[in-house]
Structure 1
């Protein structure tokens, strides 16, 4: 059996960190991006409580300090408190708000360190919502737990002014929760109704599905073996679609 290894990198403390209500760290978010052309990882760091047009960036492995993005190259915004980021083909996308308080998506070109503000179609961004790469374009996926309908909003142009809406109705999805997306673009759904863990992988591009069933995963033997309390339920299990045994060195 192969043993996985996790490589941990300690980042330097950003200089001139602004304290937010007495806590220097709680009001900030960071995002990891990757440039496949030069093989570089970069970390984007900014406040999540204040508007900014000068986020900091750090290139991993370059033995350099945090740099402030040149003023004027980034629209004024602040990152979403509960939002997350995803990187596709060298472009990092993350949830944010513009100066009017509207929910937006910011894109960050990891190689050239340029930003672009992407407007979200009003009413299209519902929670929970996942970012995926769909036919080479950014897409937002929304799925209610007990609803067979799947809403797919596809960015039609690079400026972020036009979105296409596709709706998929599969009765097999009713009762399943959307818990992420794989690197191959498959949507990952899990069951929350019984003691067995049921996982469904849906590829919306090819309209193909595959499934996996783990029986008794939250039964008495499972709880006893791992020291879990008796009220442990399937909803307590996290799903990591893109887990790998070994991470490349930064």
Structure 2
């Protein structure tokens, strides 16, 4: 079976296509031993996931993630996965975990918000039951993964000025119900979350005036909350974007509009001790020669960090319109690699979300 799996990876075959060959193929590809082995192999061969947002839909591609960045440019041609309806302005991407996307939609007719889990590898999407809440405020939701029990869970939060609710739904249990959980400290989530080693991290305000913030830690397995109060301005002023850096929580300091200038020095802060919550190391990235030699200065959107600790950046969408799509890999040795993405010219002027470390998950989604 391992040899067959290797051929699937090498030939870039679609698992969704293979399931349609016959009932026998579908049965084999759905077996737990197959999906677990496929996932373990995919972990060491992560990909880049490209999610292109138009006015009416999302179009999803992926490409191999370069393993040995250097200062030379290279070309990459992503593979198409799927597309589906996505209303610009009323829908959003909550977060990305392993190979799954958590999405939120506002149904125009019913004026109700629904959550959807999307698996680009299988072409499957799953609509979750509606979150039961009496709040009139929008519901904030995040997807998390417990690597011990190998379970995906969705955390949803709603609040008003007088109460706060936290609910959890576990995928694949056959009981599609939301369960209320306790959180002893009120908070207001502000940003997208990142899941690191079974812990879902997100930045939240400590009061409804949004004047101060902290890092919230939600243990996906135990469903318990912890809180990290930090004095550094990159958290308190909400300018940071949380990422997985070498299996540790980290944040890259960004400007107020979420961009950095190509010739600026980048600061990455890493939480070295997740138990004591008080030690953040600072990593400084000097502007590489590749950026300094570019013909024009441009803004960069931060995408994430690879397993090899390379910072991944792309040009902001307002600058993609006059150029091809580039992805930049940047490491602390002051070297950078520019990768040109081919075959996506139609979407260059659109909003493109890029997720490093995308892991193909071929297990079929079940509530």
Q: State whether TM-score is above 0.5.
A: yes
Write the distance in 2 (CA, Å) between the matches of 1:186 and 1:141: 12
1:199 aligns with 2:327: yes
Q: Which runs of 4+ in 1 moved over 6 A?
A: none
Q: 1:74 to 1:124 in 2, by over 3 A?
A: same
Tell me, yes or no, if structure 1 residue 112 matches structure 2 residue 123.
no
Give the distance between the partners of 1:51 and 1:84, measured in 2 at CA: 24
| Alignment size in residue pairs | 227
Higher normalized helix content (fraction of residues): 2
Whether 1:181 and 2:297 are equivalent positions in the alignment is no
1:60-79 alignment runs, 5 A limit = 60-64=171-175, 65-70=177-182, 73-79=183-189
- Cα 1:238–1:90 change in 2 (3 A) is closer
**1-structure distance, mates of 2:352, 2:129:** 33
Shift of 1:115: 0.9
After superposition, what is the alpha-carbon deviation per residue over 1:179-218, rounded to whole angstroms, capped at 9, x for unaligned?
31255243211234751222112244x7664431246964
- Paired with 1:177 and 1:127, the residues of 2 have a C-alpha distance of 18
Give the CA deviation at 1:240: 3.6
Larger strand fraction of residues: 2
> What value does the CA root-mean-square deviation take over the aligned residues?
3.1
Larger RCO: 1 or 2 (CA < 8 Å, sep 6+): 2
The two structures have a TM-score, normalised by structure 2, of 0.53
> Cα gap change, 1:52/1:87 in structure 2, threshold over 3 Å: closer, same or farther?
farther
Residue in 1 that maps onto 2:268: 152
CA contact (8 A) 1:54 1:74 kept: no
Worse overlay, 90-99 or 187-196: 187-196
- CA–CA separation in structure 2 for the residues paired with 1:42 and 1:162: 29
What TM-score, normalized by structure 1, do the two folds share? 0.75
Deviation of 1:44 after TM superposition, in Å, equals 0.2
Distance 1:173 1:14 in 2: 46
DSSP-derived class of the 1:124 partner: helix
Question: Does the aligned pair in 2 maintain the 1:198–1:214 contact within 8 Å?
Answer: yes
Cα distance change, pair 48–87 in 1 and its aligned pair in 2 (3 A): farther
2:144, 2:150 → 1: CA distance? 11
The runs of 5 or more residues in structure 1 that have no matched partner are 21-25, 219-225
